[in-house]
Amino acid sequence: MSRTRGTHLTHWGAFHAETDGVRLTSVTPYVDDPEPNELIHNVASAQHHPTRIDRPYVRLGWLRRGPGSAPRRGAEPFVPLDWDRVLDLLAAELRRVYDHHGGQAVFGGSYGWASAGRFHHALGQLHRFLNCLGGYVRSVGTYSYGASEVLLPHVVGGFDEVLSNATSWDSIATHTDLVVAFGGISAKNAMMSSGGVARHQLRSRLAQARARGTRFVSISPIRDDTPDEANAEWIAPRPGTDTALMLAVAHVLISENLVDHGFVERYCTGYPEFAADVLAKGRTPEWAERITEVPAHRIRVLARQMATGRTLITVSWSLQRARHGEQPLWLAVVLAAMLGQIGLPGGGFGHGYGSTAYPGERSAAVHLPSLPQGRNPISTFIPVARIADMLLNPGGEYEFNGERLSYPDIRLVYWCGGNPFHHHQDLARLRRAFTRPETIVVHEPFWTSTARHADIVLPTTMTIERDDFGMGNADPLLLAMPALTAPVGLSRNDYTIFSQLADRLGVHTAFTEGRDAMEWLTHLYEEWRDGLGGDNSGIPRFAEFWSAGAVALPPKPPHRVLFDAFRADPEQNPLRTPSGRIEIHSATIASFGYEDCPGHPDWLETAELQAGESSRAERYPLHLLANQPKSRLHSQFDVGDHSRSTKIRDREPLRMHPADAARRGLAEGDIVRVFNDIGSCLAAVRLSELVRPAVVQLSTGAWYDPDPADPRLCRHGNPNVLIADLPTSTLSQACSGGHTKVEVERFTGPLPELTVLAPPPIALLDKPSGKAADPVNSRHRTD
CATH of residue 674's domain is 2.40.40.20
- Binning pLDDT at 50, 70 and 90, where does residue 41 land? very high
CA distances from 162 to 167, 353, 477, 618 (A): 9, 11, 22, 39
**Can you say whether the dihedral through the CA atoms of 743, 744, 747, 748 is positive or negative?**
negative
- Binning pLDDT at 50, 70 and 90, where does residue 692 land? very high
**Can you say whether the dihedral through the CA atoms of 18, 24, 26, 31 is positive or negative?**
positive
In a domain, 152, yes or no: no
Same domain for 341 and 409, yes or no, is no
- Binning pLDDT at 50, 70 and 90, where does residue 406 land? very high
- Binning pLDDT at 50, 70 and 90, where does residue 614 land? low
What is residue 766's predicted lDDT score, i.e. its pLDDT? 66
What is residue 777's predicted lDDT score, i.e. its pLDDT? 36
Catalytic residue, candidates 57, 113, 287, 520: 113
Say whether pLDDT at 776 is over 70: no
Q: Are 19 and 5 in contact (CB under 8 A)?
A: yes
CATH of the domain at 92: 3.40.50.740
Say whether pLDDT at 230 is over 90: yes
In a domain, 204, yes or no: yes
Q: Are 281 and 108 in contact (CB under 8 A)?
A: no
| Domain limit, last residue, from 520, 552, 584 | 552
What is residue 558's predicted lDDT score, i.e. its pLDDT? 76
Please give the Cα distance from 608 to 327 (Å, whole number): 16
What is residue 362's predicted lDDT score, i.e. its pLDDT? 84
Strand partners, 313: 180, 349
- Domain range spanning residue 520? 5-142+367-552
Please give the Cα distance from 435 to 3 (Å, whole number): 45
Say whether pLDDT at 227 is over 70: yes
Number of domains composing the chain: 3
In a domain, 714, yes or no: yes
Please give the Cα distance from 386 to 725 (Å, whole number): 8
Q: pLDDT per residue over 337-385, tens digit each?
A: 999 999 999 999 999 999 999 899 988 888 888 899 999 999 999 999 9
Same domain for 354 and 377, yes or no, is no
- Residue 179: name the closest of 150, 145, 208, 148 by CA: 208
Same domain for 203 and 224, yes or no, is yes
Instruction: Name the amino acid, one letter, at 710.
Output: D
- Binning pLDDT at 50, 70 and 90, where does residue 780 land? very low
> Is 111 a residue of the active site?
yes
What is residue 768's predicted lDDT score, i.e. its pLDDT? 44
Same domain for 92 and 113, yes or no, is yes
What is residue 555's predicted lDDT score, i.e. its pLDDT? 85
Cβ-based neighbours of 179, under 8 Å, separated by 6 or more:
172, 185, 209, 214, 215, 216, 217, 230, 311, 312, 314
Same domain for 462 and 578, yes or no, is no
In a domain, 330, yes or no: yes
> Is 703 a residue of the active site?
no
What is residue 65's predicted lDDT score, i.e. its pLDDT? 95
What is residue 2's predicted lDDT score, i.e. its pLDDT? 56
Same domain for 261 and 352, yes or no, is yes
Using the 8-state DSSP alphabet, how is residue 691 labeled? Answer: B
CATH of the domain at 283: 3.40.228.10
- Would the pTM of this model clear 0.75, i.e. be above it? yes
Same domain for 376 and 347, yes or no, is no
> What percentage of the chain carries pLDDT values higher than 70?
96
- Binning pLDDT at 50, 70 and 90, where does residue 610 land? low
Same domain for 249 and 372, yes or no, is no
* Of the listed ranges 433-442, 544-553, 614-623, 698-707, the one predicted with least confidence: 614-623
Say whether pLDDT at 744 is over 70: yes
In a domain, 779, yes or no: no
Q: pLDDT per residue over 191-212, tens digit each?
A: 999 888 899 999 999 999 999 9
Catalytic residue, candidates 98, 111, 358, 704: 111
Return mean pLDDT, the chain.
94
Q: Are 734 and 741 in contact (CB under 8 A)?
A: no
Same domain for 329 and 297, yes or no, is yes
Say whether pLDDT at 126 is over 60: yes
Same domain for 194 and 234, yes or no, is yes
Same domain for 402 and 337, yes or no, is no
In a domain, 708, yes or no: yes
DSSP H helical ranges for 383-493: 387-392, 420-423, 427-433, 449-452
Please give the Cα distance from 180 to 175 (Å, whole number): 14
Written as one string, the DSSP assignment of 340-401 is T-TTSTT-EEEE-BTTBS-TTS--BSSPPP-----------EEEGGGHHHHHHSTT-EEEET
Same domain for 473 and 343, yes or no, is no
Q: Are 300 and 215 in contact (CB under 8 A)?
A: no
Buried b (16+ CB within 10 A) or exposed e, 21-54: eebbeebebbeebebbbebbbbbbbbbebebbbe
Other C-beta atoms lying within 10 Å of the C-beta of residue 180:
26
In a domain, 773, yes or no: no
Residue 527 half-sphere exposure, CB side, CA atoms within 13 Å? 10
Other C-beta atoms lying within 10 Å of the C-beta of residue 543:
11
In a domain, 755, yes or no: no
Please give the Cα distance from 718 to 705 (Å, whole number): 8
Q: What does the pLDDT average to over 653-663?
A: 98
Say whether pLDDT at 554 is over 90: no
